[in-house]
Chain A
């Protein structure tokens, strides 16, 4: 029984060999390289950044009055928080048509699709299939860029506002929104919209830049020579995280 080899390999120590269990050192307990672990911890910290912003949103919104009447009677007023259906109801090319949340739903779909193509790029990387990696990266970049462009349109519409505008407390008629005033409701509604969707958009933009860099490196064969496509996996983690955050941002600003 003594010095049984099978015992050693299952993690039991002997008097003169160190233990060899999962957490006994000399290996990677999560079966993840240090680079991947670092990405996870970065995302954890980034999640706290976003959580702080969304908490800020929640608390400030809670501090403001709500519109108490019927939804169909809703009109913009700086005295209460607006109903999102009435703010985000435009669609590019369909002027004057009331389509509540249709455009943002499309944007969200595009971003979710980009996550699917990202998964396919990572999977192609596991197979060391350079051409497939390139193809799916390109789709992901395309979807990501489309999302940012859509957001630019959404912002532009939000900034320019409706033709009618809203009569403000001082009697002037105001169209659209900036950081100090907006036609839709309290100042902070637009402040938070610009700040949080902007911060998220910056993340998407950084993601697209990283993906373009990945595409160039893949084309040059950098990862193929290295023998693995782990870098795509790491950027993929980031990309999925940014998508996930959008789901929360979308819920906070558009749905509730």
Chain B
């Protein structure tokens, strides 16, 4: 893919014949002087270099690899419950060596089924698509793309990973409890989650879920304040907010959403812990277990839902916005065109961020909330279609008549746009309270959010990994394997979730262990088998990626400095940047990050570090006038 790739570190592709005009740019610093080598060559013990590292690039890789391990676990759990759903009459005896007493007389234990869906949701939403996606790329790209040596506080950044690690250990350990992990759904609604005696999963499993989540929130806050502060204070000279790549805008707003919404989940979790362990009644009232009335009076389970979804809704944007940012970047780079509507893209990200805080109750249309309140939330929810539409049309307009290079990253970016449209359209249906009353808690909802924020966030993640892999590991991933991975995944996702819409419209409820008791649903048994086969195949297709990933780290083709001919700052660093990122002075920035195929320029991209004095023939009228 390396076309026209310069080996000079600070090459300016658009140098004109009269390029030497006037004075040399002040900050046009040649690299490799060695005066800042202390950032690169201190001999560190491997423990501090690879394990307790404070280098943002190393921490990013730690987040990525931990996230990948979680994704494998989360995917395996889904394969297990898809086996149950596809073949409810089949025997699971062959899984007994792994699942032990969760398989009884060849049948999966129904309690364990609930634990499977709960843990699948928790793992995918929080551990993979929040920590694994945002943790990886916010860490990796923010300092590199704004032009900083590292995060504002490397130490807090390291703590952020290790709190995530601790949280992971607790959650992972809960999978092996005698009574099973949490089983009240990833939304852990009380009273099911609040009463340890309710189901086996509400016991120790739930306690560990809450402990793990508290640690996770600490990790998110440590990371979030770091990302935001770094973007505000550590941008290099010339990197104004309107010259930031869209990735950075997305990470910046994502971090703000996290700072404002995770504390509310923390509040809810703390109140829930008190209800569970200390006899308070915040979420409990009028409950009978086995005919015995509980003493708790006056609380409200709906209150928990409000608190939960005040986090829960922004959380889906915390998951999707980093993917949106990376997709914008990958699309523009590989279409060799400026992103269409740069400022509109920023505006729509801000719009989505603001709206994400005022739509939470659309998850609660059927919980007994005042219907008038429901209509307010419906109105606000449907407005989100506007900034989302702006983004989709801008991505399409960026592709329009582009000189498209179909790299693996580009395929996943285009796939992201496709999934986001398909999933987004059903969002308009579910956002309507009247329709949602029919659809809620059916597989239609499952299909909707798996397309619009589950699969598409995964596609954003894959696009990011394929695109920035050369910067992470100094080697290229295999493109052929990337194509195979893309087509199997893309086809797989649609084959799984398209039929799910039909099943959902027919009224299949979520989180049911088996429908064999309902005659009306028997005609869909084949469709469920089909979904299960597609889901399991799509899951195993991910091992192509994992093999490609680990093989390429050690054996991949060596990367050049700027393999995608990209304009942003991270590609001005050495192939494998040391701690401190730039061996010499940090380059200054002169232009926006999307000068691709600029008319009048010989090369089809002009890096952000090239001053306008070197690009006289392609300067726009207002750029020509700037020195006057």
Binding site for B on A (CB under 8 A): 1-3, 12-21, 23-26, 28-30, 32-35, 37-38, 41-42, 44-46, 48-49, 51-53, 55-56, 59-60, 63-64, 179-180, 186-188, 191-192, 195, 199
Decide: A188 near B259, CB < 8 A? Known: A23-B241, A34-B234: no
Select B282's contact among A18, A23, A56, beta carbons within 8 Å: A56
Tell which of B25, B262, B268, B307 touches A17, judged by Cβ atoms closer than 8 Å.
B25
Does B627 reach chain A (CB closer than 8 Å)?
yes
Q: Does B617 contact A (CB under 8 A)?
A: no
The answer to whether A18 and B300 touch across the interface, beta carbons within 8 angstroms, is: no
- For A59, the closest partner residue in chain B by CB is B303
User: Count the B residues whose beta carbon is within 8 Å of the partner chain — how many?
Assistant: 69
> In the complex, what residue of chain A is closest to B226 when comparing beta carbons?
A38
Segment of B60-68, B271-279, B376-384 engaged in the interface with chain A: B271-279
Give complex CA distance A42, B232 in Å. 15
- Asked whether any CB of chain A lies closer than 8 Å to the CB of B92, the reply is no
Contacts of B306 in A (CB 8 A): 59
Residues of A within 8 A of B88 (CB): none
Q: Are B299 and A188 in contact (CB under 8 A)?
A: yes
570-628 of chain B: CB within 8 A of chain A? 588-590, 611-614, 619, 623, 626-628
Nearest CB in chain A to that of B274: its residue = A195
Chain A proximity of B292: nearest CB distance (Å): 15
Determine whether B260 belongs to the interface, using a CB cutoff of 8 Å to chain A: yes
Q: Which residues of B sit under 8 angstroms from A16, Cβ to Cβ?
A: 22-26, 28, 590, 611-614, 627
> Quick one: closest B residue to A169, CB to CB?
B297
Q: CB distance B263 to A60 under 8 Å?
A: no
**A22 CB to nearest B CB, Å:** 9
Q: What is the interface of chain B, defined by CB distance below 8 A to chain A? A: 22-28, 146-147, 152-153, 156, 221, 224-226, 228-230, 232-241, 243, 259-264, 266-268, 270-271, 274, 278-282, 295-300, 303, 306-307, 310, 588-590, 611-614, 619, 623, 626-628
A29 touches B232 (CB 8 A): yes
Instruction: Give which listed residue, A12, A26, A38, contacts B237 with CB less than 8 A.
Output: A26
**Nearest 10 A-B pairs (CB), nearest first?**
A18-B238, A26-B237, A52-B267, A25-B235, A25-B239, A34-B152, A16-B613, A15-B613, A14-B627, A49-B263
A208 to chain B, nearest CB (A): 21
- Contact residues in A for B230 (Cβ distance below 8 Å): 34
Which B residues lie within 8 Å of A18 (CB)? Answer: 27, 237-238, 588-590, 611
- Complex CA gap A42/B228 in Å reads 11
Q: How far is the CB of A4 from chain B (nearest CB, A)?
A: 9
| Chain A: minimal CB distance from B500 (Å) | 34
Q: How far is the CA of A32 from the CA of B279 in the complex (A)?
A: 45
**A52-B233 in contact given A16-B613, A180-B295 (Cβ < 8 Å):** no
**Closest residue of B by beta carbon distance from A20:** B237
